[in-house]
Structure 1
Amino acid sequence: MRRSLRGVVALLTALTLTAGTPAVANPAWTSLSYASALADNPLKGFLPFAGDHQTFPHSMEWFYLPLSDVMTGPRKFDWTAFETQLGAIAGRGHQGVFRFYLDYPGRPSGIPRYLLDQGLRTRPYTDFGNDGVSVAPDYNDPRLVAALENFITALGRRYDGDPRIGFITLGLIGFWGEWHTWPHDGTTEPENWMPSDDILARILHRYENAFAKTRLLARYPSAQNKNLDIGYHDDSFAFETLPPTSWHFVQRLIDEGVTDKWRRQPIGGELRPEIQSCLWDQPVTCTQYEDYTASVAQTHASWLINHAAFTGTGFTGDKYQRAVAGAKSLGYELTVTEAKLGRDRVSVRIANRGAAPFYYDWPAELAAVGHSGRVVRRWPTRWTVAGIQPGEEPTQLSSRINTRGLRPGRYDIVMRLPNPMPGGVPLRFANTGTDTTSGWLTLGSLKNR
């Protein structure tokens, strides 16, 4: 991530504070009031499977696609199916989170047709109710390895930094693209269907090299990915998350020495389907589950698939409110604690009261709002909130503004972090002065004379 705290332009006119006293070179900081941020803030919270869902607040939608939908030859791609899905989600003002797969139990194979025609070895199986519908490919076949590397390169070249995309889970390998083939992994049967460690490392490095902007998440912490710019997703969240069981997600983080990786790379996942609804009952009615609050605290997760909250009529009453609180507890919660409006500079202090940082370098903008309530001047900044850590002292940002040409009068000075995706939900600060539609936060008032 590239971070800069420099301002962009010079202030050329004198300003007067709200109280009418002359502006001074070193004005005082003014405290801003905290208010809980919305549950549908961008790039965090609960996700449904893609669709027009109205029963629960959200800013992202999840989808799977078989690789065969886009890959038609060793270096040939038809992105129509992917564009259709991504475009529909963006049309609802949301960002997409997705995974490509080769082998999804119970669904037709996602292996590109040309590889099957070339004689790629496959293995039928009946695990997970598959009953032979899908097949597991030979992941060590050089033709398949080359195909995956070519696809990842093409995906990154075309879509890295696309604002319609929230996060990408790596996929491609194993059942559901979850990087496991249990029970066919050498633990209970002699043959291991997983790729060799060398091939796994090649795929991981190809992903890291293909994506410099869009954030990636792997299913499991491993020796091959621990030092890469790749986060993780726990797809059995609050079910097989907490230590000390060896295969639980946090224990894997501990064993690989990456318990603090969330400070740089995102954590996501899925609430285990069996508990997506019962977890919000009071008392909890799930027959097996783990403490949700502890799971969030130890993983620092930013987002979770929780489709049950979006099905049918969704949750109601107190159950709905508990689920909303659960969604809001994920990821960042940024609040402007103080602002300072001086003769030639606007400064803010921003704290993170959430569980994780904001991971994208969205630039902030400042603006002047006239008495009519309209924005009459905008000032871009190089401010970024990316990487502001929870529980630490507020981060101070400062920028000059240029008011030349503004008519004399009093103006509200506001700031926001607009979503780079047209029509996307803006980041709303956890402050009472935040407009929940536009994202503008009022910092204070100044008089131009």
Structure 2
Amino acid sequence: MYHSQIWAYQPLPKRPLVGYAPDIRSADAGTTSLLFLSLTWRDLEPEEGRYCFEGWERRLNFSRLRQGGQRLVFRLVLDYPGFKGSPALPAWLLERIPARSYVSPFGRGLAPDYTHPGLATAYRRLVLALGQAWGQDGLLSYIELGGLGHWGEWHQLASLGPLPQGDFAQHFYVDPWFQAFRSCRLCLRRSFAWLDPHRSYGFYHDELGDLAQTRVWLDELVQGGESFDGAQMRGLGRSGLERVCGGEWSSKCLWAPWNSELRAQMRDVGLSFLGPALPQNAETARLVEECLGYQLWLPQVQSVSSLLGTCLCLTWANQGLATFPFDWPVYLAWETWQGERGRSRLQVRLSQLRPGQRSWFFAWLPRPLLTYKSLRVSVEDPLAQKPLRIFSQRAEKGSGSLIL
């Protein structure tokens, strides 16, 4: 017996792991699936070896975030221009390493010597401790890693000298993140030529909305060459665009109107998240949000059934502009008319479902199709341990599962 079920595509406005990421302390923090959290070294380790991870967990109510399935975009900052309070670095560290005060168009700041062994060693120790505390369950889904330079964005005033490069930067400022965090996307600001090519990097851009700046950044990502500060970039070809995870809106373009060139650029870059700076023009904000992330659905499920069992062919498609960032488990659950229940994990790699393409996966059920009262497909959230509302289609859905 042959059976085919066909569905129509229907965009899903709010989806896990994608969308706007406002600051966790903002009024919009309860309405999005992602939140942005930036903390300084002083916030996390005010005294040497005394970490404040648990205090921040209580203050920011991490337990509520986990229960609600919200996740974080995280950045560690060592130099915050224009910040009115204490320096981003803790006092105990500033007593041991050289740091230079500066005046920039964004305000005064204090830049440490990132090549100092004492700073590099302590930084590595901090990141590994941070991973033990917050890197085990996927709450931190995206990390804008490194923390070097102004705002942690891997650039600083030319008068302060170049930032570390090569094996030193890789060993102390990049590799610790990969060792400490295994369930998140690690994003760098630029595709530096010295980066270990065997690592799976993502990238983020902090000047989205600025067409010219974004064009330069994309050219560097695709073609490589010398960047504005003299650093050499490695060209990644068109595959570099597939590694772009997100970024934030340019402060110079907060009220920029929507236009065809901006639309083309946003569609080309394939972002999953944007924040904490967001477009303030209402039309731009609405249309930019529509350009973020994946839109996964099943256009068709076909079955061939006999007395020996049932073979299912599931057609998957991604109507969005980015891939699903992780290979979370996909399950096929069943219930018979006699009340028996079970489920099996499908061999679907969500991160391989590329925008605009379709993929086919097969599953085997040991009974004839008419034996089953219900069949459901679901993607399970490892953090909340429940099915996600993830399918962008007009279909019957139960508790996040797609009813076949």
For the criterion TM > 0.5, the same-fold answer is: yes
Q: Alpha carbons of 1:354 and 1:369: their partners in 2 closer, same or farther (altered >3 Å)?
A: same
User: Corresponding residue for 2:295?
Assistant: 333
Separation in structure 2 between the aligned mates of residue 55 and residue 420 of structure 1, nearest angstrom: 22
TM-score (norm 1): 0.75
The structural deviation recorded for 1:231 is 0.7
User: Corresponding residue for 2:101?
Assistant: 124
User: Corresponding residue for 1:238?
Assistant: 209
1:111 to 89, 101, 110: 89
Separation in structure 2 between the aligned mates of residue 225 and residue 441 of structure 1, nearest angstrom: 41
User: Corresponding residue for 1:14?
Assistant: none
2:266 to 289, 296, 301: 296
Structure 1: gaps (5+ residues): 1-23, 285-289, 444-449
User: Corresponding residue for 1:147?
Assistant: 122
Letter of the 2:5 partner, please give it.
T
User: Corresponding residue for 2:341?
Assistant: 377
Structure 2: gaps (5+ residues): 225-233
The structural deviation recorded for 1:430 is 1.6
What is the 5 A alignment of 1:32-431? 32-36=7-11, 38-51=12-25, 53=27, 58-72=32-46, 75-84=49-58, 85=60, 86-90=62-66, 92-107=68-83, 108-117=86-95, 119-131=96-108, 134-181=109-156, 184-185=157-158, 189=159, 191-192=160-161, 194-202=163-171, 203-225=173-195, 227=197, 228-239=199-210, 245=216, 248-255=217-224, 256-261=234-239, 265-280=243-258, 291-305=261-275, 307-308=277-278, 315=282, 319=283, 323-341=285-303, 342=305, 343-368=309-334, 377-384=341-348, 385-392=350-357, 394-401=358-365, 411-422=373-384, 426-431=388-393
- Alignment RMSD, CA only? 3.3
The structural deviation recorded for 1:155 is 2.6
CA displacement 1:354-404 (0-9 Å, x = unmatched): 222112111112234799xxx983514143322211233x22222334679
**1:59/1:425 contact within 8 Å kept:** no
- Say which structure is richer in strand: 2
Separation in structure 1 between the aligned mates of residue 375 and residue 129 of structure 2, nearest angstrom: 44
Separation in structure 2 between the aligned mates of residue 249 and residue 193 of structure 1, nearest angstrom: 22
CA displacement 1:85-139 (0-9 Å, x = unmatched): 344543554111110111111223221332123x3111112214423xx411111
**1:369/1:414 contact within 8 Å kept:** no
Separation in structure 1 between the aligned mates of residue 117 and residue 389 of structure 2, nearest angstrom: 44
Q: Alpha carbons of 1:143 and 1:354: their partners in 2 closer, same or farther (altered >3 Å)?
A: same
Q: Secondary structure in 1 aligned to 2:391?
A: coil
Between structure 1 and structure 2, the one with the greater Rg is: 1
**Count of residue pairs brought into register by the alignment:** 383
Separation in structure 1 between the aligned mates of residue 152 and residue 386 of structure 2, nearest angstrom: 28
- Say which structure is richer in helix: 2
**1:100/1:177 contact within 8 Å kept:** yes
Letter of the 1:49 partner, please give it.
D
Separation in structure 1 between the aligned mates of residue 143 and residue 291 of structure 2, nearest angstrom: 22
Q: Alpha carbons of 1:382 and 1:54: their partners in 2 closer, same or farther (altered >3 Å)?
A: same
Q: Which 4+ stretches in 1 moved above 6 angstroms?
A: none
Identity of aligned residues (%): 23
User: Corresponding residue for 2:400?
Assistant: 439
Separation in structure 1 between the aligned mates of residue 242 and residue 264 of structure 2, nearest angstrom: 21
Separation in structure 1 between the aligned mates of residue 14 and residue 240 of structure 2, nearest angstrom: 21
